[in-house]
Structure 1
């Protein structure tokens, strides 16, 4: 079942509440509805986390935490998924978002330099910002919706598969006891 797999890797809320750096938000972290692993809470957590990850804004983890709190979905999954845009993947993802936005706005794409740097981004920011913002928003919404749908379908498939296996085991067990 997907729940067992996720529980293996998620931190325990009490361990996080005891951390000195998180004591300020300890009452929020301790909310049980933010730690539930159901099909709905996990699917919504994927939506919130991926949506936050694809936005070119600072404090993405804070945005994901607030989104998880508002949507009452799984907090650690939402925050953890933000790290899809880490320092290694961020330039590629945001350049892809920029290209998507430029395509949607029907503007020419500025060629990327051999090496993307913060200096290049700062120089080009005023000109690329509308395309980056639109592309990021569209990519975030589409990715969040597809992730939500995919998680719900995968979860449902896994549960039905588990039920079928359980039914087969019970049938075999019954047949074995009847033959004895």
Structure 2
């Protein structure tokens, strides 16, 4: 079942409450719904996490937490899902987002060399910026929706499968 699989990877809620960056949320972190793992909280958390994973900002986890708290979905899962975009996966993810934005805008895909400097960032905002931002927005909405509905489907499928296995086991034990 997805619940058992997901629970293996989530940190202890007491450890998350002690995180100094999340202290700004204060007593809001004491809501028990933020720590329960059920179908509703898991699919919402994955949707939120994947939505913010495509935002080209340095504080995606904080935004994910800020959205998870009022929506009362699983906080650790929403924060962990953001890490789909990590320093290793960010370049291909963001290049893909740029390609999506260029395709939607109908602009030519420009080849560029990334530099970690303010001058390169200022120059690229005017050239590749609009396509990149639009692509990030499209990918973020699409990934969030796929995560939300995909996990809902997987969760329902696993519950139905577990019920079928129980029913089959019950039939086998009643025959003897």
Q: Same fold (TM over 0.5)?
A: yes
Change (3 A) 1:44 1:22: closer
Unaligned runs of 5+ in 2: none
| Aligned partners of 2:16 and 2:76 also within 8 Å | no
Whole-angstrom distance in 2 between the partners of 1:77 and 1:13: 11
Aligned length: 174
Gaps of 5+ in 1: none
Aligned to 2:61: 61
Q: For residues 51-101 of structure 1, give each alpha carbon's deviation from its aligned partner in whole angstroms, at most 9, with x where no partner exists.
A: 100011221001100111122111111101111111111111111111111
Cα distance change on mapping 1:121 and 1:29 into 2, 3 Å: same
2:33 — aligned with what?
A: 33
Report the Cα offset of residue 147 of structure 1. 1.4
Structure 1 match to 2:116: 118
1:127 pairs with 2:100:
no
- What does 1:1-180 correspond to in 2, within 5 Å? 1-18=1-18, 22-113=22-113, 116-119=114-117, 120-176=120-176
Taking the aligned partners of 1:22 and 1:102, their CA distance within structure 2 comes to 36
Cα RMSD over matched residues? 1.8
**CA deviation after TM superposition for structure 1 residue 153, in Å:** 0.7
Highest CA radius of gyration, 1 or 2?
1
Query: Compared with structure 1, are the counterparts of its residues 41 and 170 closer, same or farther at alpha carbon in structure 2 (3 Å cutoff)?
Result: same
Offset of 1:118 from its aligned partner? 2.1
* TM-score between the two structures when normalised by the length of structure 1: 0.88
Provide the rounded CA distance (Å) in 2 between the counterparts of 1:5 and 1:123: 45
Describe the superposition over 1:13-70 as per-residue Cα deviations: whole angstroms up to 9, x where unpaired: 2233345665454523221111121112111111100010001122100110011112
SS in 2 for 1:118: coil
